[in-house]
Structure 1
Amino acid sequence: MSTEQTTAANGFSYTLTRTLDAPVVKVWRAWTTAEQYARWAGAAAGSVEMDVRPGGAWKATMVTPDGGQFPLTGSYLEVAENRRLVVGMDVPGRPDPAAMTMELDEKGDHHTQIVLRQTCDTTEERDMAEQGSTVLLDSLSAFLAAGTRD
């Protein structure tokens, strides 16, 4: 696994790039199947719901390391199976969802390059989102390395 991390010149965007030891189809399923997502993303059991299609809704209750829980909701803004997923997250007081883009690219038989991108409104929001996305990629990498059932 390799990792690359960059912050855009405007200071409010980030891009995280990793090469994962799994084929694209397994990475896609891990990210878009409620049962698999709950296992690696730190969601409370039974809290993940996904309607993976443009305009489809998702929700999950995330669990922090100290046991705290916080609910998240949103929708899928763009879905190109096994290639690109744009996920919108509802933010209280904000009219438009915060969008995160995930792109997948097959690199050989069993490797996938994953790129996560997000543009935020403030440096603080960017730092929090980037930290959260880094944790997600770390957890996804460990989940895929442990092997998953299809």
Structure 2
Amino acid sequence: MEQRSAHHATFTVERTYPATPERVYKAWSDAEAKARWFTPAETFDFRVGGREYSRGGPPDGPVFTFDACYQDIVPNARIVYSYVLDMDDKRISASVTTVELHQAEGGTRLVFTEQGVFLDGLDTPEQREHGTNVLLNMLGDALRSESEAS
């Protein structure tokens, strides 16, 4: 019999970007802008009750499926979404994520908080927090590239 487990955890990651809250919000709310730093979505319906769905991963596998539903959106200030993450055909986590955008000196302070349940030892809070740091660094790179292009 397969060993089952559910590990609950919360983590918060903060970044300050040299961009306005409007630009950082657009990087989350616009499908084309988000695809510059996140797996391009097959479905992208950015509204309360809307869904974002994407699949991807390294060329030699596994395939990760991100399936999110937007729960709350305050333009240029807050995004709340719930999502499940699958690895191939196994559910590895279910989470609620809040992205807060605050005006800061020289730009925007982003506060990313994830509350998750990590299933059956297939993922851990530490791995997810590491992956979130990588993604938020990629967001910063995309915002810098956009600034340099303008």
Match for 2:73: what amino acid? V
Task: Give 1:127's aligned residue.
Answer: 126
Could you tell me how far apart the structure 2 residues matched to 1:111 and 1:48 are? 31
Q: Report the alpha carbon displacement of residue 53 of structure 1 after superposing the two structures with TM.
A: 1.5
Q: What amino acid is aligned across from residue 18 of structure 2 in structure 1?
A: D
The CA deviation at 1:61 is: 2.1
Change (3 A) 1:120 1:90: closer
Could you report, residue by residue, the CA deviation over 1:76-135 in whole angstroms, capped at 9, with x for unpaired residues?
A: 0111111010121125688x9511110001114x50000000122359531122112111
Task: Please say if 1:58 is aligned against 2:52.
Answer: yes
User: Whose radius of gyration is greater, 1 or 2?
Assistant: 2
Q: Which has the higher contact order (CA 8 A, sep 6+)?
A: 2
Of 108, 112, 129 in structure 2, the residue corresponding to residue 116 of structure 1 is 112
Provide the TM-score with structure 1 as the length reference.
0.76
* 1:17 maps to 2:11: no
Q: Find the residue that maps to 1:103 and give its secondary structure.
A: strand
C-alpha distance 13-88 of structure 1, shift in aligned 2 (>3 A): same
In the alignment, is residue 104 of structure 1 matched against residue 101 of structure 2? yes
Richer in strand (by share): 2
- Looking at structure 1, the residues matched to 77 and 125 of structure 2 have their Cα atoms a distance apart, in angstroms, of 24
SS of the counterpart of 2:117? Answer: coil
2:46 counterpart SS class:
coil
Question: Once the two structures are aligned, what percentage of the paired residues are identical?
Answer: 26
User: Is 2:85 aligned against 1:87?
Assistant: no
The answer to whether the Cα contact below 8 Å between 1:72 and 1:90 also exists between their aligned partners in 2 is yes
Query: CA RMSD, aligned part only?
Result: 2.7
Q: TM-score, normalised by structure 2?
A: 0.76
Partners of 1:28 and 1:15 in 2: CA distance: 18
| Partner secondary structure for residue 75 of structure 1 | strand
Contact 1:89 1:99 in 2 (8 A): yes
**Paired residues, number:** 134
Instruction: Give 1:7's aligned residue.
Output: none
Give the deviation of 1:139 after TM superposition.
Answer: 0.1
Cα offset, 1:71, TM superposition: 2.4
Unpaired runs of at least 5, structure 2: 1-7
- Contact 2:95 2:117 (8 Å CA) reproduced: no
Alignment partner, residue 31 of structure 2: 34
